[in-house]
């Protein structure tokens, strides 16, 4: 009887021990599983990041290669027309100088005419001073255009910038020449008006000198 009780007590104790140990084991197993999942997720995330970085680098390389090919194509196209471009720039520069020389010749002849006739013009000095000032500005503009036309090179540092500068300088030259032409015209009108007044006075007074 006592032996039966001891066996029963041992059986109950063993059952209780198993009952207590089982939840503990059950609790350890999910933690290990969670840790395994976390490690796998981190590995997968790392691989995803690597793939994304590789894809981004590949896209960057493709874009860089495309830009290089485009730059090479533009350089070749520019070089094919470089001679034409420089010739055009040189021709425009020469045209400006020729216009300046023409206006200067007319101004010189007008001044010589004024001295020869000896008919006084009250504003003559001011007109001549304006001609000189406008000529100085035009000469500077022409010199700038000429210097820009000789610096254009397709393989230079900034050929597009040089071309844009040339266009801007050319506009400034055209404007300066226009101002110079107007000053010369004003001088001509002033000198001729004096001659016209003198001629009219001579006819009125009967002076036929």
Domain limits of the chain? 66-201
- Residue 2 vs residues 9, 12, 87: alpha-carbon distances, Å: 10, 15, 126
Tokens at 137, concatenated: 């500005």
**Confidence band (pLDDT; 50, 70, 90) for 79?**
confident
pLDDT tens, residue by residue, 101-133: 999 999 999 999 999 988 899 999 999 999 999
Using a cut of 0.85, tell me whether the model's pTM lies above it.
no
CB 163 within 8 A of CB 151: no
Distance, first Cα to last Cα, the chain: 175
Say if residues 141 and 169 touch (Cβ distance below 8 Å).
yes
* The two three-digit tokens of residue 143, written as one number: 């010199």
**Contact 135/180 with Cβ under 8 angstroms?**
yes
The whole-chain average pLDDT of the chain stands at 75
Query: Are 145 and 167 a contacting pair, CB within 8 Å?
Result: no
Handedness of CA 37, 40, 44, 45 (dihedral sign): positive
pLDDT in tens, 198-207: 443 344 334 4
């Amino acid at each position: 009887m006592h032996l039966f009780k001891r066996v029963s007590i041992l059986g109950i104790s063993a059952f209780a021990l198993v009952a207590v140990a089982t939840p503990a084991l059950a609790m350890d197993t999910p933690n290990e599983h969670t840790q395994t999942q976390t490690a796998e997720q981190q590995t997968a995330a790392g691989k995803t990041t690597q793939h994304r970085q590789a894809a981004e680098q590949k896209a960057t390389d493709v874009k860089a290669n495309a830009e290089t090919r485009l730059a090479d194509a533009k350089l070749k196209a520019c070089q094919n027309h470089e001679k034409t471009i420089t010739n055009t720039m040189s021709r425009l520069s020469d045209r400006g100088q020729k216009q300046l020389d023409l206006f200067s010749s007319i101004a010189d002849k007008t001044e010589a005419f004024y001295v020869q006739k000896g008919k006084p013009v009250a504003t003559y000095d001011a007109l001549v001073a304006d001609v000189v000032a406008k000529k100085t500005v035009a000469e500077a503009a022409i010199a700038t255009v000429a210097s820009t036309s000789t610096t254009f090179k397709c393989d230079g540092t900034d050929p597009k910038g040089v071309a844009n500068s040339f266009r801007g300088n050319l506009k400034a030259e055209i404007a300066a020449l226009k101002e110079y032409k107007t000053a010369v015209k004003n001088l001509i009108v002033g000198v001729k008006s004096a001659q016209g007044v003198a001629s009219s006075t001579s006819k009125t007074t009967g002076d036929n000198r």
